[in-house]
Structure 1
Amino acid sequence: MKFEDSKYSDLLEYKKVCFSFGTVYLTERFLLSEFNEGVHVNYEIAGELVTKFSALIDKKIQVGYIANRYNSYSFDPQLWVDFNNEYDTFLASAIVTYSDFSYLNASLEKQFFSKSLKRCRSLEEAIDWMLQLREFNQS
């Protein structure tokens, strides 16, 4: 399910940012990516994303990240290592998978991510988990 087709697109305020390789939704608590079919997420794409969201990164704002993988695409897991070494932006991440193969890929990526990375079978599961993170709910 795409983010804009979910109940959360009506419940959460967000900004939609379109790229040639996909779409990123920015909410108060997380970024959510929906990349196009067949894309290979590499350093070039990661660099474009970092440039676009540099204000968040420069301000040291911490958010979650959700990869909504309803399309099939590849991801270089080394990007997690490099991003985590360079920036401290993501509190946690969730990968929404829609096939067993995609779930196995997410399991591999989990080995490269130094913080919490949850593999989810639905967009709702991922967003609910993200919104319940204790880092967002401390008063």
Structure 2
Amino acid sequence: MKFEESQNLSKFIRKKIELAFGKFFICDHFVVAELNHEIHVDWLIIQKIAHMIIDQYGTSRKIGFISNKVNSYSIDPYVWITFSQEYDFIEAAAIVWYTDAGFMSATLEKMFLKSSVKLCESLEEAVHWISNPEEFRS
């Protein structure tokens, strides 16, 4: 399910940002990313996402990140190692998967992320988890 199509979840959206490679929904304490079909996420795209998030929240604020995998795309998992060394604003991440391939990709990404990560079967589950920091800080 796409984030802005969910009547229960669209109330969280403060701002929608469309970039060439995907849509980003800026909420009070988290970002939801929906990347385009069949793109390859490399370090350049990760940097653009990071700078867009910093522009929205500043450099000192910790936020949650939800990757809503509504489309099929590839990602170089090693970019997360460099990301963790360069940036420190993601407190927790939720990855929503819809297919077996999406689950396998999410499982691989989780291995490379420094922050607390939860694999979710629904967008509602991801928003609930990311909205309750006591769940991922324990």
User: What is the TM-score of this pair, normalised by structure 1?
Assistant: 0.89
Please give the alpha-carbon distance, in whole angstroms, between the structure 2 residues aligned to 1:5 and 1:57: 24
Unmatched runs of 5 consecutive residues or more in structure 1: none
Which residue matches 1:26? Answer: 26
Deviates more, 1:51-60 or 1:119-128: 51-60
SS at match of 1:82: helix
Please give the alpha-carbon distance, in whole angstroms, between the structure 1 residues aligned to 2:57 and 2:2: 26
Alignment of 1:1-139 (within 5 A): 1-6=1-6, 7-9=8-10, 11-55=11-55, 58-134=58-134
Q: Displacement of 1:122 after TM fit? A: 0.7
Q: Displacement of 1:53 after TM fit? A: 2.7
Q: Displacement of 1:42 after TM fit? A: 0.8
Q: Is the 8 A contact 2:62 2:91 kept in 1?
A: yes
Q: Is the 8 A contact 2:59 2:89 kept in 1?
A: no
Q: Is the 8 A contact 1:57 1:87 kept in 2?
A: no
Please give the alpha-carbon distance, in whole angstroms, between the structure 1 residues aligned to 2:105 and 2:12: 29
Please give the alpha-carbon distance, in whole angstroms, between the structure 2 residues aligned to 1:119 and 1:78: 19
Deviates more, 1:100-109 or 1:53-62: 53-62
Unmatched runs of 5 consecutive residues or more in structure 2: none
Q: Displacement of 1:110 after TM fit? A: 1.0
Distance change in 2, residues 1:62/1:12 (3 Å):
same
Q: Displacement of 1:75 after TM fit? A: 1.1
Distance change in 2, residues 1:13/1:102 (3 Å):
closer
Please give the alpha-carbon distance, in whole angstroms, between the structure 2 residues aligned to 1:39 and 1:128: 28
Alignment identity in percent? 39
Q: Is the 8 A contact 2:22 2:34 kept in 1?
A: yes
SS at match of 2:118: strand
Please give the alpha-carbon distance, in whole angstroms, between the structure 1 residues aligned to 2:135 and 2:96: 21
Distance change in 2, residues 1:58/1:29 (3 Å):
closer
